[in-house]
Each structure stands twice: as C-alpha cells, then as structure tokens.
Chains A and B, each alone.
Chain A
C-alpha cells in the first residue's frame, strides 16, 4: 500500500476536476486552479527542470541547447492538457526569471531574457497550450494521431515560430536567415516529439483519466 498513495483511488479520477472535492466552499478559488491541479502543474514544471539536469547536450555552446527539456514541454501538454501544460511551462519561465538555473546546462536568470534565443523559451507556454489542446480532442482518452498533431504543431511549430521571430528581431537578422539557422534543430525535435507521444501513450495507459474532460477548464 505504501507504493501507491491512494490505492482505493479517491475523488480525482472519477471527476477529473478538483472543484468537486470542496463543494462547500465556492467563492473566488473555484475559478482558479485547484490544489490537485496545482500539484500536477508544479510536478511537471519540476520534471521539465529535471530533464535539463543530466547530460545536457549542446549543439553549440550555450546557445539553443538540445536537451530533453522540449520533450518535457510537449509531454506536459500531452499528459495534462493545454491549460495545465502551459502553466507548468510558465512556472519554469518564472523560476528562470527569479534567478534559478532551471534551463539546460545550468542556465537561468534575467540574462536569458536579454538573450537572442529567449523566444524559444517563451514559446514553451503557447507551445504546450496548443499541444495539450489538440491532445485532449478525444479526452478523457488519449488519441495518438491528435497527440502527434499537437506535438508537431505546438511543441515544434509554435515554439520554433516564436523562437525564430524573436531571434530575427533581437539579432537583427532577416527572418529567412533566422529560420535557416533554426532548421538545424528541427530533426532533433522531431525525434523528441515522437518520443513524447510514445511515452505519453504509455503513461495514459498506466494512469487513465489524466486529461481533463472536454469542456472542463483545466
């Protein structure tokens, strides 16, 4: 019993939302994020940080690092859905701004936001939102085709689009030149997208009911 904290599984997966656990206190908090959603969001934010810790592989120095962090971003959307996935990424961005070395290779702090590649970091938030929004099309079940579409459009398309635009603006490059520089990273991200969908499908089989039901906010 010690291995599974709640073997007799209480309210969460029956309802999908946390609001039901406190029917007696509506008020302002009902609009916000429930305690259980908060736990998921913080845990996936921490997961993204942890994925940047071991053996971060850099393509060139501390420019745009190729690590499993973008895998973590896609995974947050694929597992938690758009809203909570995006909030997990937002937490990582916030911790970075606060001055913690949460990005691959121990990078962090306000310097990241002054750098030319910050668009790739900021792109995580809408990227995970789009990934999760598409992945939850067949919620509560997980659909591999929709998940793949989400990872490709959100995890790669949105993140790279924002990354390239900010790079072009901050480094005064023609968008086409910025795009050319960025293309080096696309093959790696395709592999990570495939891995994220495979892992998400397995996790959804092991722990059903994680995606928010359609129409629910989280």
Chain B
C-alpha cells in the first residue's frame, strides 16, 4: 500500500494554501543557494528547525530526516573539503541539507489530495497545447490504485516461482510479473473504455 508522507496536523502550515507553500519554498531555497556564505545554511537551519517544530512535526522526525541524509552529506562534505576547502563544504552541503529539509516540511504538511488539486489546477492553461488536466488526475489516481494490485501479482508470481523450485532466478520472477502486469493493463484499458474515458464530454 502506498501511504503518503503527510503527517496529519492542524498547524498554521497545515492550513496554509498549497500554492503559497510551494512558492515560499522556491523563493527561500533560491535565496539560500544564492547567498554564498556559511551564514546562509546556519540561518536556514534555524528557520527550518523552527518551522518544523512550529508545525508540530516533532524533534524525532527532524532528527530522523537528518540521519537519513548522513551518507550523502558525508560523501559530499569530503569531496568539497578536498576540492574547495572547509568553508565551501559548509556552504554547499549545508545549503543542500537545509533545502532538502525545507522541502520535506512542505510535503509533510500537505495532503496528497490538496497537492493533486493544485497540480491539476496549475495545468489548466496547458489545455491549449493538448494536456487534459482531468486525464492527468486520472493517470495519477490510476497509478496509485495499481500499485497494490501489482504488489499482489508480484506475491503470487513469487509463490509460483517457489512452488516450481526456481528459487533465485530473477527471470522466473520478472517475466511472469511483467506479462501479468501487461494483461492487467489490458483489462484496465477495457474498463476505462467501457466507462467512457475515450468518449468526448457529454452531448
């Protein structure tokens, strides 16, 4: 099952409009990366931590987010230090870390449905070049729906592989998985056609 990274809550950030949050994130990140001084990531870290805690996301989640990035940070820090010195390492790696955490806060405080509505709304002007926002929404929903369906198929295929004594062959798992995925897609395509997806809007 595909559960979102949204953390339920009622903070001001949870209630803020999606567009505003994404725009704010873009502006903040751009400023952060443009200001090439160790003060930028330092100030950024304080702000992100404050917003994170202010939105009720908790200290543990913040630490977990940082911990998850430990290897990227370590590798990049070593490379930067070696190539450009410690100051540059702090500016570049600190800036990336803060930007990633800030973006994570937006994701954690925005429901998938709200994000989807915002995207579909933003795609409106693209109607003229042949992008149908409703169809985009259908494609996104259909994909979310199909993940558990394919997980079930993968489990059955793995069982069948085990039953036939082909324990570790990746081909014996992947070929039937993809063939059955294609057949599933055929059946879904039929259902979409039958439900009028290929037919124009009502007369």
Contact = CB atoms under 8 A, between A and B. Distances in A.
Contact, chains A and B (beta carbon distance below 8 A): yes
Identify which of A41, A110, A203 gathers the most chain B CB atoms within 10 Å of its CB. Answer: A110
B176 to A, nearest CB: 9
A61 B178 CA distance: 29
A179 B61 CA distance: 33
Contact of A109 (B71, B92, B103): B103
B27 interface: no
B55 interface: no
A28 B135 CA distance: 12
Contacts of B147: 46, 49-50
Interface in B59-88: 65, 68-72, 75-76, 79-80, 83-84, 88
A38 B138 contact: yes
B115 A98 contact: yes
B50 interface: no
Nearest to A94: B140
Interface in A149-193: 170-174, 177, 181
B150 A100 contact: no
Interface stretch (B9-17, B105-113, B159-167): B105-113
Contacts of A110: 22, 25, 103-104, 106-107
A22 interface: yes
Nearest to A26: B200
A33 B154 CA distance: 27
Interface residues of B, number: 78
A195 interface: yes
Given A61-B72, A100-B112, A43 B181 contact: yes
A95 B140 contact: yes
Interface string A42-53: 111111011001
B119 A94 contact: yes
B139 A111 contact: no
B107 A95 contact: no
Given A39-B186, A41-B139, A102-B2, 18 more contacts: A18-B189, A18-B193, A28-B130, A29-B200, A40-B185, A40-B189, A42-B143, A44-B181, A46-B149, A49-B2, A49-B147, A53-B151, A94-B136, A99-B4, A110-B25, A115-B72, A177-B79, A199-B171
Interface of A: 4-6, 10, 12, 18, 21-22, 25, 27-29, 31-47, 49-50, 53-54, 60-63, 75, 79, 87, 91-92, 94-95, 97-102, 108-117, 170-174, 177, 181, 195, 198-199, 202-203, 206-207, 210
Interface of B: 2-6, 22, 25, 29, 65, 68-72, 75-76, 79-80, 83-84, 88, 92-93, 96, 99-104, 106-108, 110, 112, 115-116, 119, 130-132, 135-136, 138-140, 142-144, 146-147, 149-151, 154, 170-171, 174-175, 177-179, 181-190, 192-193, 197-200
